[in-house]
Amino acid sequence: MVTGEGLFITTFTNQGNGKRCVALATPYRGKVIPFDLEEYGGTLICQKDSFLCDAKGISIGIAFQKKIGIGLFGGEGFIMIFNLQET
């Protein structure tokens, strides 16, 4: 894509009866901070490359910059938006 955003999201599904683990990593050092989307009104807009993972019941979409020049040349590109979806 022109702005450097990824197009695909990998999905892991536990098809067994017991608990399983998945190891996730980022190319950057930092903390993984869990939070409840309901505490943020059910919607959160994240910076480019800040999304690591989500749980079942979360809908992922794309939000666009209001000004096309900022989206294309501002270094952030398109921004992902995460919406809480009641299941």
Domain ranges of the chain: 1-87
Q: CA distances (Å), 47 to each of 50, 67, 75, 87, in order?
A: 6, 16, 11, 26
Residue of 85 and 58 predicted with greater confidence: 58
Burial class of residue 68, CB neighbours in 10 A (0-12, 13-18, 19+):
exposed
**Architecture of domain 1-87 in this structure:** 4-Layer Sandwich (3.60)
Please determine, for residue 86, whether its predicted confidence score (pLDDT) is greater than 50. no
Split at pLDDT 50, 70, 90, the class of 36 is confident
Q: What is the mean pLDDT of the chain?
A: 72
Q: What is the pLDDT of residue 43?
A: 81
Split at pLDDT 50, 70, 90, the class of 87 is very low
